[in-house]
Structure 1
Amino acid sequence: MTYRIPLTVRSYELDSLGHVNHAVYHQYAEVARMSGFQAAGCEWEDMRGGRAAPVLLSTTVHFRRELRANESIEVSCEAKFGTGKTFAVDSLITKADGTVAAEVTCVLGVMDLDARKLVADPRAVLEAAGFRAEVLAAGD
């Protein structure tokens, strides 16, 4: 089951057109990532103590529908691992009626804080910090 977190659009997140400012969509996805990884058992402080930390390498947002003040939304967080030094974390920002307001795709890695380079197997480092991938797996 894909991880989801409910949020409410706050009035101070709006731009001059009266809908959510573009940068706030990134923040919504970040809230879902941080909450999702915590729900999956991965604590960033514990990772940093082990001299590793997640790093965001890129974010792409596809805006589909506008969001306005006081709307209830849900933001998903789904981690996708393959081979290599990076992995994807995707989020859907969905309105209460099920309409997708935005799709957010992020590429992340895990940095070795001493070498200042990405680790070869980010999933293994995350799992060593308590990460349970099934919590952020695809599904309904």
Structure 2
Amino acid sequence: MTFRVPLQVRSYELDALGHVNHAVYHQYGEVARVAGFQAAGCDWDGLVAKKLSPVLLSTTVNFRRELRANEHVEASCEAKFGSGKSFHLDTVITKADGTISADITCVLGIMDLEARKLVADPLGTLQAVGFDADILAPGA
């Protein structure tokens, strides 16, 4: 089951056309990522104490259907780890009727803040501070 967080579109998130401004979708994705990692037990303070931090390397939003004021949506969060230094976090913004409004694909890494380089094993690094991959990355 994919992790999801409920959101409601606020009037100040709208642009001149009366629908959600493109930049707000990035914020919705960030809300889903932070909530998802919290739900998975990731201890951010533990990462910082080890001089580590997640870094966003790229993000792509595909807009599918507009969102308007007061709509209720869900933002999902699913992590996909491979063998490299980076990993994907995918978010789907879904309207109450099941219509997909947008999908967001992010590439992240875990940076060693002293070396200023990505760690070789992001999943292992996250698990060392309590990350439960079964919550966001089933089968990882």
**Range into which the TM-score falls when normalised by the shorter chain:** over 0.9
Q: What secondary structure does 1:97 align onto?
A: coil
Runs (4 or more) in structure 1 with deviation over 3 Å come to none
1:71-82 equivalences under 5 Å are 71-82=71-82
Task: State the shift of 1:138 in Å.
Answer: 5.5
1:116-127 equivalences under 5 Å are 116-127=116-127
Query: What residue in structure 2 maps to residue 68 of structure 1?
Result: 68
Q: CA RMSD of the aligned region, Å?
A: 1.1
Percent identity for Structure 1 against Structure 2: 70
1:19-98 equivalences under 5 Å are 19-98=19-98
* Alpha-carbon distance in 2 for matches of 1:121, 1:72: 37
| TM-score (norm. length: structure 2) | 0.97
Q: Residues 56-105 of structure 1: CA distance to partner in whole angstroms, max 9, x if unpaired?
A: 00000000000000000000000000011000000000000000000000
Task: State the shift of 1:137 in Å.
Answer: 2.8
* Alpha-carbon distance in 2 for matches of 1:53, 1:45: 10
Count, aligned residues: 139
| Structure 2: segments with no counterpart, 5+ residues | none
Q: What secondary structure does 2:15 align onto?
A: coil
* Alpha-carbon distance in 2 for matches of 1:120, 1:65: 38
Task: State the shift of 1:44 in Å.
Answer: 1.6
* Alpha-carbon distance in 1 for matches of 2:35, 2:57: 19
Task: State the shift of 1:45 in Å.
Answer: 2.0
